[in-house]
Amino acid sequence: MRLTSILIVLTGFGVAGASAYAARDYLNAQVEARTTAEDAATIGVLVAARDIDFGQPLESQNLTFIQWPREAAPAGVFTDISLLLPQNGQEPRRARRAIAQGELILASRVSEFGEKVTIVQSLSANHRAMAIRVDAETAVGGFVTPGDYVDVILTQGRDDGLRTVTILQNVRVIGVDQDANELNDDAQIAKTVTLEVTPADGQRLALAQQAGTLSLTLRNTTEEIADSPLELTRLSDILQELSPTPESASSPSITVRRANVVTEEDL
């Protein structure tokens, strides 16, 4: 009896141990399958580890990997850091525009190895860069910075013939003096502001610059109001005096007293 009991107990331990090993293997297989599925659903992409200024070389300390949904990865992302860093004495790649920390590194935002980076590479398709003269008064007190959007106002004439009109609306500022860094929000008194304009708007801007004084007004970049042409405003429109109308004009009258009754009679 004792031997039989011992065999039963040993058999029970054996079955329990086998079941535990089978359960562990099953769970491990499930974890591996889930990890494989997650790895297949995401992809490692390179982003900026810190702010990268316009024209700054791309270096290893400026880059880091994050996981990104594979199906949502935009065209031009980098998954291999060796494609961004110079090899065998190559000149570095540079940022064609300012890249904020955490922003994806895309092929359209970086130069080729050794390629010169200029402000022209930040222009939208079929647009030109054009500079205009400004000062503290015409450039919103120095608060215009690269990346802002402005309206351009022309003022011309003298004395009673003074007039003003908005000639361009919602124009992107791509440079203030020699600064094209959109991450720089420091106010500065500039002498020139470079705007991104279409060829036709560039002609209008060049003509307006010779015709009078150009002023900039800062826009709210979050508004989605459709622009419409604005009417020309004259000085006389602002200083217009209200003259009495025939209905409101009072006619001459006299006061007549009869006994204790006083009346007003028109002449």
pLDDT of residue 236: 77
Residues 137, 215, single domain; the answer is: yes
Conformational region of residue 131, where left means phi above 0, alpha means psi within -120 to 50, and beta covers everything else = beta
- Per-residue model confidence (pLDDT) at position 4: 62
Task: Count CB atoms within 10 A of the CB of residue 202.
Answer: 17
Q: What are 184-194's pLDDT values in tens digits?
A: 666 666 788 99
Q: What is the mean pLDDT of each run of 10 residues along the chain (267 residues)?
A: 57 55 53 54 91 87 91 89 88 87 90 82 84 80 84 88 90 81 63 91 93 89 72 78 54 66 65
Please report whether residue 233 resides in a domain. yes
Any domain includes 261: no
Nearest to 48 by CA among 74, 84, 10: 84
Total domains present in the chain: 2
Q: For the CA atoms of the chain, what is the radius of gyration? A: 37
Whether residue 84 lies inside any domain: the answer is: yes
In a domain, 234, yes or no: yes
Q: Are residues 144 and 237 in the same domain?
A: yes
Whether residues 164 and 74 fall in one domain? no
Residue 231's pLDDT is 80
| 266: in domain | no
Task: Indicate whether 98 and 150 sit together in one domain.
Answer: no
Kindly state whether residues 181 and 92 are assigned to the same domain.
no
CA 30 vs. chain centroid, Å, equals 45
Q: What is the pLDDT of residue 21?
A: 55
- 158 and 219 co-located in one domain: yes
Task: Tell me, yes or no, whether 165 and 234 share the same domain.
Answer: yes
Answer whether 0.85 is exceeded by the pTM: no
Is 265 contained in some domain?
no
Residue 246 inside a domain? The answer is: no
On whether residue 97 sits in a domain, the answer given is yes
Q: Are residues 202 and 137 both part of a single domain?
A: yes
Question: Which residues span the domain enclosing 56?
Answer: 42-109
Both 102 and 142 in a single domain?
no
pLDDT computed for residue 31 by the predictor: 45
Q: Do both 60 and 155 map to the same domain?
A: no
**Residue 154: its pLDDT value, please?**
93
93 with 149, same domain: the answer is no
Domain CATH code at residue 85? 3.90.1210.10
